[in-house]
Structure 1
Amino acid sequence: KNVLNFSKKCDKLKVLIHVSTAYVSGEKEGLILESPLKMGETLNGTSGLDVDFEKKLVNDTLKKLKADNCSDDFIKSSMKDLGIQRARTFGWPNTYVFTKAMGEMLLGQLKDKIAVVIIRPSIVTSTYKQPFSGWAEGVRTIDSIAVGYGKGRLTCFLGDPKTVIDAVPADMVVNAMIAAIVAHANDDQGNITVYHVGSSVSNPFELGWLQDYGHRYFSKNPWINKEGRPVIVGKIKILNSMDAFHTYLAIHYLLPLKGLQLVNMACCQYFQGIYVDLCRKIKYVMRLVELYRPYLFFKGYYDDMNLEKLRRAVRESGVERDFYFDPKIIDWDDYFMNTHIPGAVKYVFK
């Protein structure tokens, strides 16, 4: 909203580019179109979504928690819970995509005559070429799974191996943004245009492939832990339902953990290091599953017809070599084995 208000003061502004996420679609199935969200629209049909009310609710809740002298950890936990609860009330799986959706709604309602382009990337991965291959910052999405697996923390995971993962290298997202700026610079009609920047329609790959890439890479290039020893990895066991996941976790981790806790107490904390390490692994897996659960069985495909028109314009102008964003040029096996995973190890692993 602040950015939009600032934009209205820029007399020579041609177009406003807003980066959202493809996952404002929530857990829809089938072909998901490049359509803007309407103010108050929800994913589950629940009425009453009011952006101003949501903002007031957050501010009032935070103010009350502080007035009650709650600890920082309790405030952080309570605000996270509130965000999830409000998101799920209207059909979004988490706070991130809920707030992104409300941002799009505000743009559509308040833009006046400003031309707006909404870029909706899917899962953004390390760079394909520019500024150099494999560059990434911070642990996110696929990277967090790679980190957990490479460091030996991840032995099982939830999901359907046949689920299509929609991912796109960061430099392709940037190139699509640049192309969109040029394409819409002379739009004097104040249109709003949405672009899905992803791969699920043009060049899909499956969750099960990630399991194979990770196993092959870290078997040949094991991570060296703090003790200077290589971490030996096995194949991740992918469990295809929440029931199967909870059963596997109970048998292989929770029951042994309970037994270890009793033995540790009887032996004067002799096994404390092992106990703490096992607790950490379980919490790590649970956090990843909770974070990515909506996407591990995702059955949607992001239509990219608008983006294809943009790609065609770039091809016709002869600048595709520098401003590439066609996922069909990606060989996923080569990309993950020789670019993304090595890049994650170099720039993300710590």
Structure 2
Amino acid sequence: MSHAAETLRLMREDGEIKWCPVENSKIVDFYKNKNVLVTGGTGFLGKLLVEKLLRACPDVDNVYVVVRSKRGEEAHLRMDKLFADPIFGPLTKLFPKFVHKISVMKGDASLPDLGLSPADRATIIEKVNVFFHVAATVRFDEKMTVATAINVRGTRDLLQIAAKCKNLEAFVHVSTAYTNCNQKEICEAFYKPPIRADELIEMVEKTPEKIVLDETVRLIGDWPNTYTFTKAVAEDAVRVYGKGLPVCVVRPAVVIATYKEPLRSWIDNLYGATGIVVGAGTGLLKTMHCDSSKTAELVPGDYVINHMIAASYQTAIEKPKEIPIYNYVSSVENHHTWRDFMHQCSTWGEELPTIRCVWYYTLTMNRFYYVHVLYRIFLHYLPALLMDLGMILARKPPMMMKIYKKITKFESVISHFSTNEWKFHNTNTQDLWNSLTKADRKMFPFSMKELSWDEYYKTHTLGLRQYVVKDDISTLPQAMVKWRRFYIANKAIKTIFYIVILYLVYSFLSRLL
């Protein structure tokens, strides 16, 4: 069976979502009649979390989702549109009336007290048992003012609300494995923050924005961007304001498409590793500043969610005196590199190209920055200039240089994580997995040790094609014809290039001799 046939079989396989029986699941029993609050519910992880809670824990009482208005679209309307996403398909078939368990709360993590109304705050204090604080700005180059408001103040303010809750049982703060990326070895512990949470909030709120922006580079110091910096400071807010509360911190690494739940290889964004695959697969991204021998610290989205739910249960049951931290990474138990990642993606993806591709897959991962810059000039900018010139002559608006400026910005902000690696410890995460019953492991799988990367990558690129590029599988025959043409053209250009180089070398040596 060809790779393409195997991939299509897996994507179409009946019963892909194995509805495990809930008998003997302690986690499912724990969530009976519980009220849960989720921030960031319209984001990638937030959607997966809401879906899994309602599918795996059908007896949960209410799921309150804090949603902000966006581009003039009200919170309730945004949530209604959310349910049209393919990932809610299996849930809709199982529980057609699941929407009745969801309560939308209008809010905004960038505002004081998350922009919640007094009535909604009172409801939270009176009813909510479990918090999942997922909301964050994940833009690496976000303005310090915005990143601080959302990532730091939002965390502090939600913890202050949680502290007033009458029946609080667990609070899960979703951080990132790279909060302490200024260290080379990262344990499951709090580290000294670059600045105290309250100090940063006060400074940003009382200092003119222009001064804050001008001082950003000096302020973040050893941290590569405002995202990791503010997430590190947010953990200080958790340490201070979570003291005495049933709080835990989950630090996922680079989150990629789902493994199996609720759909194989589902994702809805182009962040991080996903952007690399889509950019290379469409023929736009031809060079990447990346050390292919370095660890690719990747974790599937559905496994992250299962880990978060298990961590909430453990926190509620054990009521730890010290705030537990879980590094959710892959390298400790299931190591693979960026070379492995791109090799698997290309192996399984080349037989399923997208009709939207503009050239054949030719990505080169360059360890040395200045070599990468030369590649960027000759493989990105010069072709873009020629194509834009052709568009201008055809009286069409030029666009390729704009596209490559965005690509350059994208690959520049993630190069820090593709050219460095860290030694992570994840003892707490392994202990959490080992503590679960057989039923809970079946319902909420998250052990990276038991994940098969070979199995994962069989459908990964097709998932990106279908859910991110929005390219229906019916276009495959046309895409294959286009792909073969690009392949032949690419081979011809390479051959001509090598002939020219050999001729120049021959001419040079002839003159010397």
Same fold (TM over 0.5): yes
Amino acid at match of 1:107: V
1:2 alignment counterpart? 157
- Specify the alignment match of 1:195 in structure 2: 326
Q: In 2, distance between residues paired with 1:295 and 1:101?
A: 16
Matched, 1:270 2:385: no
Question: How has the CA–CA distance of structure 1 residues 64 and 165 changed in structure 2, closer, same or farther, with 3 Å as cutoff?
Answer: closer
In the other structure, the counterpart of 2:463 is: 343
Is residue 453 of structure 2 the alignment partner of residue 332 of structure 1?
yes
Which stretch has the larger CA shift, 52-61 or 154-163? 52-61
Q: Is the 8 A contact 2:177 2:327 kept in 1?
A: yes
Question: What code does the residue aligned with 1:35 have?
Answer: A
Task: Give the structure 1 partner of residue 191 of structure 2.
Answer: 37
Aligned in 2, Cα 1:201/1:157: closer, same or farther, shift over 3 Å? Answer: same
| CA drift at 1:240 | 0.8
**Structure 1 CA distance for aligned equivalents of residues 383 and 260 of structure 2:** 46
CA positional deviation for 1:132: 2.2
- Cα offsets for 1:72-115 (capped at 9, x unmatched): xxxxxx98x558525532x2111111111111101101223112
- Give the aligned partner of residue 88 of structure 1: 220
Report what 1:158 is aligned to: 289
Q: CA deviation at 1:13?
A: 1.1
DSSP-derived class of the 1:164 partner? coil
Contact 2:284 2:359 survives alignment (8 Å)? no
Q: Deviations over 1:256-296 (max 9, x none)?
A: 767x59x94xx99417769632x135313311222102101
Question: In structure 2, how many angstroms separate the alpha carbons of the residues matched to 1:27 and 1:297?
Answer: 14
- Determine whether 1:287 maps to 2:406: no
Residue 140 of structure 1 corresponds to 271
The structure, 1 or 2, with the larger RCO (C-alpha pairs under 8 Å, 6+ apart) is: 1
Match of 2:25 in 1: none
Structure-1 separation of matches of 2:464 and 2:216:
29
The change in CA–CA distance for 1:84 and 1:233 in structure 2 (over 3 A counts) is farther
Name the amino acid aligned to 1:199.
S
Query: Residues 298-325 of structure 1, C-alpha deviation per residue, up to 9 Å, x if partnerless?
Result: 22132111111111011x4542111111
Task: Tell me how far 1:252 sits from its aligned partner.
Answer: 4.2
**AA matched with 2:266:** W
Tell me which of 322, 325, 331 is aligned to 2:443. 322
**8 A Cα contact 2:280 2:361, kept in partner:** no
The question of 1:309 aligning with 2:431 is answered yes
Aligned residues: 315
State the identity as a percent.
25
1:36 touches 1:193 (CA, 8 Å); kept in 2? no
- Unaligned runs of 5+ residues in structure 1 are 43-48, 66-77
3-state DSSP class of the match of 1:22? coil
The one-letter amino acid of 1:141's match is G
3-state SS in 2 of match to 1:201? coil
Distance in 1 (CA, whole Å) between partners of 2:280 and 2:444 is: 34
Residue aligning to 2:360: 233
Residues 215, 321 of structure 1: alpha-carbon distance in 2 compared, 3 angstrom cutoff: same
Question: 2:369: which partner in 1?
Answer: 242
Q: What's the offset of the Cα at 1:57?
A: 4.2
Alpha-carbon displacement from aligned partner over 1:100-135 (angstroms, at most 9, x marks no partner): 111110110122311211000001112212222212
Say if 2:259 is the partner of 1:113: no
Question: CA separation of 1:215/1:54 partners in 2, compared to 1, >3 Å: closer, same or farther?
Answer: same
- Measured in 1, the distance between the counterparts of 2:379 and 2:439 equals 57
Note the C-alpha offset of 1:58.
3.4
Letter in 2 for 1:165: A
- Relative to the length of structure 2, the TM-score reads 0.56
Distance 2:216 2:334 in 1: 32
Tell me the distance in 1 between the aligned counterparts of 2:440 and 2:234: 32
Distance change (3 Å), C-alpha of 1:7 and 1:172 = same
Q: Is the 8 A contact 1:125 1:169 kept in 2?
A: yes
Q: Which has the larger radius of gyration?
A: 2
Instruction: Choose 295-304 or 52-61, whichever is displaced more.
Output: 52-61
Q: Which moved more, 1:177-186 or 1:267-276?
A: 267-276
1:157–1:285 contact (8 Å) kept in structure 2: no
TM-score (norm 1): 0.80
Residue by residue over 1:29-73, the C-alpha shift from the partner in whole angstroms, topping out at 9 and shown as x without a partner, is 2x42111234xx33xxxxxx2433433443456x666xxxxxxxx
Does 1:24 find its partner at 2:179? yes
Unaligned runs of 5+ residues in structure 2 are: 1-155, 471-513
Q: Once the 2 structures are TM-superposed, how far is the Cα of residue 249 of structure 1 from its aligned partner?
A: 2.3
The structure 1 residue matched to 2:346, chosen from 199, 212, 215, is 215
Closer/same/farther in 2, CA of residues 257 and 346 from structure 1, 3 Å limit: closer
2 CA distance for matches of 1:221 and 1:255? 28
The one of 179, 183, 188 equivalent to 2:310 is 179
Contact 2:172 2:249 in 1 (8 A): yes
Q: Tell me if the contact between 1:127 and 1:136 (Cα under 8 Å) persists in the aligned partners.
A: yes
Q: Which amino acid aligns with 1:213?
A: Q
